[in-house]
Amino acid sequence: MHAFGDVWPRTEHLDTQTRALVSVTIAATLGVLEPLRGQLRIALNAGATKEEIAEVFLQVAVYAGVARAFDGYQVAAQVFAEDPER
């Protein structure tokens, strides 16, 4: 199974924006910061707002730890700065 060819197009039960937010959550929880950067861009392009993404990091803090959430949010802040108009 291929992520972008087989999984992402499956929008019957999870829309693309939700799937993108789940992917942000997973990358942040795992602490893989460069893949997180890409997932954040995908989430923004799928229509997720900065506020929704910030909520994801609050959830990460509760379940994966404050350090993971803090590190992930630092990456998010950098991605947000790339396009301040969003």
Segment 22-51 mean pLDDT: 97
What domains appear along the chain, each with residue ranges and CATH number?
A: 14-82 (1.20.1290.10)
By three-state DSSP, how is residue 30 classified?
Answer: helix
**pLDDT tens digits, one per residue of 2-18:** 566 677 788 788 999 99
Q: What is the pTM of this model?
A: 0.90
pLDDT at residue 20, rounded to an integer: 95
